Amino acid sequence: MRAANIVHLGNKELRSLARDPILLFLIVYSFTIGVYASATAMPDSLNKAPIAIVDEDGSPLSSRIASAFYPPHFLVPVQISQPEMDARMDQGLDTFALDIPPNFQRDLLAGRSPAIQLNIDATRMSQAFTGNGYIQAILDGEIAEFLQRSRSADPSPVELNLRHRFNPSLTQAWFGAVMEVINNVTMLSIILTGASLIREREHGTVEHLLVMPVTPGEIMISKASAMGLVVIVASALSLVLVVQGLLAVQIEGSLLLFFAGTGLHLFATTSMGIFMGTLARSMPQFGLLMMLVLLPLEMLSGGVTPRESMPTVVQLVMEAAPTTHFVALAQAILYRGAGFAVVWPHFAALVLIGALLFSLSLARFRRTIGLMA
């Protein structure tokens, strides 16, 4: 295996990629608009949720509660009657409908436990999930303040002192932007290497490679290294220009350590892309394989949902996936500023997984080359 052959073949891969406008657009879009949209598309908090109020009490307390809902979390409440409540919910006009019963203030001051009915349109999942907590907190605050004026309230014997570490402002964009970069590294490394191999087959240039004095190992390493270099450069520019620059996300750890882990991750995922490229006979087939492989890799790696909340069997199976260890080391480095002493087990796991995937892919690639010959 000669380094000169790998360099020349790698240059060929880069020139081929430069002549493919679709893949170039995918790279640029994924690491710019895709990262920005993923960070900002989901609002950090409830935003302009429509709410209606049925005030059957007509008391100062019920008026106080109605006036507590205002933009930007909620739209200005619409005062409706009880017969209108179900009709408006059926039409999708309101996400929340609050029904304050008659004699609510009188029963509360008398020491009873009156109930307020809250109707939620659960088809609007994002607003319904977070709005319930917002409304409960607003009701508790307004009622507690009202009661403190009429009778003394005992203070809580315990004070909870909160410390929000690693994301003190609880900004969703901090998490979404970095995780989108991590997901794009995995996605594009598999797509670019697999597509480069299928492009060789579709254009008939595999036969040209077979008559050249190069080995299958040199061909595979050149494809993996060239596409991996493109992904690393694109992700580095995205982290610096989009994540840190445009979105003002604070990166706590060493970017050099992160890209060292990225290189090991690419060693595994580019091998996976070549393996999938040998299985698929066309780009449509490769796209279907991508759907079967990429979604589990991203959804079950711990980036979307903590792995501790998954079934034990899924956790054990995903230990063999490179994305699991890449997400863990990336979050530890970029979010919590971890050093090599903390993340070295994930580095070691990526080396082992990458070596195994590279060996399997090389064996499959040699067999495919042999069949073509």
Give all domains of the chain, ordered by start, each with its CATH number.
3-41+171-372 (no CATH), 51-150 (3.40.1710.10)
User: Which parts of the chain sit beneath pLDDT 50?
Assistant: 151-152
Tokens of 44: 């950090």
Question: Model-level pTM greater than 0.85?
Answer: no
Q: Are 217 and 362 in contact (CB under 8 A)?
A: yes
Distance CA(272)–CA(188), nearest Å, equals 12
| pLDDT per position as a tens digit, 218-267 | 888 988 999 999 999 999 999 999 999 998 888 888 999 999 999 999 99
User: What is the reported pLDDT for 210?
Assistant: 67
pLDDT at position 151: 47
Cα–Cα distances (Å) from 159 to 33, 137, 153, 345, in that order, read 43, 17, 15, 39
Question: H or E segment at 55?
Answer: strand 51-55
Taking the chain, what is the end-to-end CA distance rounded to the nearest angstrom?
A: 20
**Is omega for the bond preceding 43 within 30 degrees of 0, making it cis?**
no
- Ranges of beta strands (E only) in the chain are 51-55, 78-79, 96-100, 117-120
Residue 36: CB atoms within 10 Å? 19
Tell me which residue of 107, 17, 120, 98 sits closest to 53, measured CA to CA: 98
Listed in sequence order, the residues at least 6 apart from 43 whose beta carbon sits closer than 8 Å to its beta carbon are 172
DSSP calls for 89-126: HHHT--SEEEEEPTTHHHHHHTT-----EEEE-TTSHH
pLDDT given at position 45: 67
Question: Would you state the pLDDT for residue 155?
Answer: 60
| φ and ψ of 26, to 5 deg | -60, -40
